[in-house]
Structure 1
Amino acid sequence: MPSEGIQKHARALELDKILKLLASRTACDDAARIAENLVPSTSPDEVGRLLQETDDAYVMMARFGAPPFGGLTDVTNSLRRAQAGGMLTMAELLRVSGLLRTLRAVVEWRSKSEGVKSCLDDRFSMLMPNQYLENRINQAILSEEEMADGASQALSAIRRKIRNASSKAREVLDRMIRSASYQKYLQDPIVTIRGGRFVVPVRAEYRNEVPGLVHDTSASGSTLFVEPLSAVELNNQVRVLQSEEKKEIERILSELSAEAGGFADTILRGYHTAVELNVIFAKADLAYRMKATMPKVNDRGRIVLKKARHPLIDPKAVVPTDIELGTRFDTLVITGPNTGGKTVSLKTVGLLTLMAMCGLMIPTAEESEISVFQQVLADIGDEQSIEQSLSTFSAHMTNIIQIMKQAGPGSLILLDELGAGTDPVEGAALAEAILEALRAKGARIAATTHYAELKAYALQTQGVENASCEFNVETLRPTYRLLIGVPGRSNAFAISLRLGLENPVVERAKDLVSQENTRFEDVVQTLESSRQKLEGEREEARQARFRAEEMRRQAEEKLEQVQKEADGELEKAREKAAQLVARTRAQADSILNELEEVKKQRNKALTAEQKARMNAGMRELENGADPVREKGNGDYVLPRPLKAGDAVLIFDLDKKGTVIRPPEGDSGEALIQAGILQTRVPVSNLRLLREKPQRAPVGRVTRNVTSRATAKVTTECDLRGQAADEAVMNLDRFLDSALLSGVDQLTVIHGKGTGTLRAAVQQHLKNHPSVRSYRLGTFGEGESGVTIVELK
Structure 2
Amino acid sequence: MQPRVLKVLEFNKVKDKLAGFSASSLGREKVLQLMPSIDYMEVVKSQEQTDEAATVLRLKGEVPLGGITDIRAHVKRAEIGGTLNTQELLDIAGTIYAARKLDRFVETLLEEELYIPILKNYMDQLVIYPELERNIKNCIDEYGEVLDGASEKLRGIRQQLRSTESRVREKLESMIRSSNAQKMLSDSIVTIRNERYVIPVKQEYRGAYGGIVHDQSSSGATLFIEPQQVVDLNNVLQEAKVKEKLEIDRILAELSAEVAEVARDLMENVSILAEIDFMFAKAKYAKHIRATKPKINDKRIVRLVQARHPLIPGDEVVPNTIELGKDYTSIVITGPNTGGKTVTLKTLGLLQIMAQSGLQVPAQDGSEVGVFSAVYADIGDEQSIEQSLSTFSSHMVNIVDILKKVDHNSLVLFDELGAGTDPQEGAALAISILDEVYQRGACVIATTHYPELKAYGYNREGVVNASVEFNVDTLSPTYRLLIGVPGRSNAFEISKRLGLENDVIQRAKEFVSEDSNKVENMIASLEASQKRAEAEWQEAEQIRKTSEKLHEELEQQMQALDEQRDKLMEKAAEKAEKLVEQAKQEAEQVIRELRKMRMEQHAHVKEHELIDAKKRLGDAVPTVKKSASTKKQEVANQTLEPGDEVKVLSLNQKGHLVEKTGEKEWQVQIGIMKMKVKDKDIHYISRPKPVETKPLATIKGKDYHVSLELDLRGERFENALMRVEKYLDDAVLAGYHRVSIIHGKGTGALRVGVQNYLKNHRSVKNHRYGEASEGGIGVTVVELK
Could you tell me the TM-score, scaled by structure 2's length? 0.68
CA distance in 2, matches of 1:15, 1:174: 69
Render the CA deviation track for 1:434-469: whole Å, top value 9, x for unaligned.
Answer: 111111111011111222221112012111111121
Measure how far apart 1:407 and its partner are: 0.8
Measure how far apart 1:376 and its partner are: 0.7
Render the CA deviation track for 1:402-459: whole Å, top value 9, x for unaligned.
Answer: 1111111101111111111222221111111111111111101111122222111201
Establish whether residue 96 from structure 1 lines up as the match of residue 92 from structure 2. yes
CA distance in 1, matches of 2:452, 2:350: 28
Establish whether residue 50 from structure 1 lines up as the match of residue 49 from structure 2. no
Judge conservation of contact 2:304–2:323 (CA < 8 Å) in 1. Answer: yes
**Cα RMSD for the two superposed structures:** 3.2
Render the CA deviation track for 1:681-711: whole Å, top value 9, x for unaligned.
Answer: xxxxxxxxxxxxxxxxxxxxxxxxxxx9996
Establish whether residue 277 from structure 1 lines up as the match of residue 262 from structure 2. no
Measure how far apart 1:541 and its partner are: 6.0
CA distance in 1, matches of 2:108, 2:7: 41
Render the CA deviation track for 1:374-408: whole Å, top value 9, x for unaligned.
Answer: 01111111121111111111111111111111111
Render the CA deviation track for 1:650-700: whole Å, top value 9, x for unaligned.
Answer: xxxxxxxxxxxxxxxxxxxxxxxxxxxxxxxxxxxxxxxxxxxxxxxxxxx
Structure 1 residue identity aligned to 2:403: M
CA distance in 1, matches of 2:535, 2:231: 103
* Equivalenced residues, count: 576
Superposition pairs of residues 644-723 of structure 1, within 5 angstroms: none
The 1:713/1:583 distance shift into structure 2, 3 A limit, reads: closer
Partner of 2:203: 204
Judge conservation of contact 2:139–2:147 (CA < 8 Å) in 1. Answer: yes
Partner of 2:231: 232
The secondary structure found in structure 2 opposite 1:147 is: coil
CA distance in 2, matches of 1:191, 1:452: 93
Structure 2, unaligned runs of 5 or more? 556-625, 640-645, 653-671, 673-785
The secondary structure found in structure 2 opposite 1:293 is: coil
CA distance in 1, matches of 2:636, 2:216: 100
Partner of 2:292: 293
The 1:549/1:42 distance shift into structure 2, 3 A limit, reads: closer
Partner of 2:25: 29
Measure how far apart 1:243 and its partner are: 1.2
Judge conservation of contact 1:19–1:36 (CA < 8 Å) in 2. Answer: yes
Measure how far apart 1:199 and its partner are: 2.7
The 1:533/1:50 distance shift into structure 2, 3 A limit, reads: closer
Judge conservation of contact 2:332–2:463 (CA < 8 Å) in 1. Answer: yes
Superposition pairs of residues 374-453 of structure 1, within 5 angstroms: 374-453=373-452
The secondary structure found in structure 2 opposite 1:377 is: strand
Establish whether residue 254 from structure 1 lines up as the match of residue 229 from structure 2. no
Judge conservation of contact 1:301–1:373 (CA < 8 Å) in 2. Answer: yes
Measure how far apart 1:87 and its partner are: 1.2
Establish whether residue 522 from structure 1 lines up as the match of residue 521 from structure 2. yes
Structure 1 residue identity aligned to 2:41: D
Partner of 1:77: 73
CA distance in 2, matches of 1:711, 1:420: 83
CA distance in 2, matches of 1:713, 1:411: 70
Establish whether residue 62 from structure 1 lines up as the match of residue 61 from structure 2. no
The secondary structure found in structure 1 opposite 2:6 is: helix
Render the CA deviation track for 1:180-218: whole Å, top value 9, x for unaligned.
Answer: 476654444443332222333333223223232222223
Measure how far apart 1:145 and its partner are: 5.7
Judge conservation of contact 1:58–1:284 (CA < 8 Å) in 2. Answer: yes
Render the CA deviation track for 1:534-593: whole Å, top value 9, x for unaligned.
Answer: 44555666788899999999999xxxxxxxxxxxxxxxx987665557778x79xxxxxx
The 1:73/1:550 distance shift into structure 2, 3 A limit, reads: closer
Render the CA deviation track for 1:579-612: whole Å, top value 9, x for unaligned.
Answer: 557778x79xxxxxxxxxxxxxxxxxxxxxxxxx
The 1:292/1:79 distance shift into structure 2, 3 A limit, reads: same
Judge conservation of contact 2:349–2:375 (CA < 8 Å) in 1. Answer: yes
Structure 1 residue identity aligned to 2:101: A
Structure 1 residue identity aligned to 2:45: R
Judge conservation of contact 1:25–1:282 (CA < 8 Å) in 2. Answer: yes
Render the CA deviation track for 1:36-75: whole Å, top value 9, x for unaligned.
Answer: 2311111111111000000000000111233233322222
Superposition pairs of residues 125-144 of structure 1, within 5 angstroms: 125-142=124-141
Judge conservation of contact 1:450–1:490 (CA < 8 Å) in 2. Answer: no
The secondary structure found in structure 2 opposite 1:146 is: coil
Partner of 1:627: none
The secondary structure found in structure 2 opposite 1:500 is: coil
The 1:25/1:579 distance shift into structure 2, 3 A limit, reads: closer
Judge conservation of contact 2:203–2:220 (CA < 8 Å) in 1. Answer: yes
CA distance in 1, matches of 2:27, 2:550: 53
The secondary structure found in structure 1 opposite 2:303 is: strand
The 1:441/1:236 distance shift into structure 2, 3 A limit, reads: same
Judge conservation of contact 2:72–2:270 (CA < 8 Å) in 1. Answer: no
Judge conservation of contact 1:22–1:36 (CA < 8 Å) in 2. Answer: no
Partner of 1:476: 475
Measure how far apart 1:336 and its partner are: 1.9
The 1:145/1:279 distance shift into structure 2, 3 A limit, reads: closer
Render the CA deviation track for 1:71-105: whole Å, top value 9, x for unaligned.
Answer: 22222222211111111122222222222222222
Judge conservation of contact 1:339–1:478 (CA < 8 Å) in 2. Answer: yes
Structure 1, unaligned runs of 5 or more? 557-572, 588-707, 715-725, 727-792
Percent identity of equivalent pairs:
45
Establish whether residue 358 from structure 1 lines up as the match of residue 319 from structure 2. no
Judge conservation of contact 2:199–2:225 (CA < 8 Å) in 1. Answer: yes
The secondary structure found in structure 1 opposite 2:141 is: strand
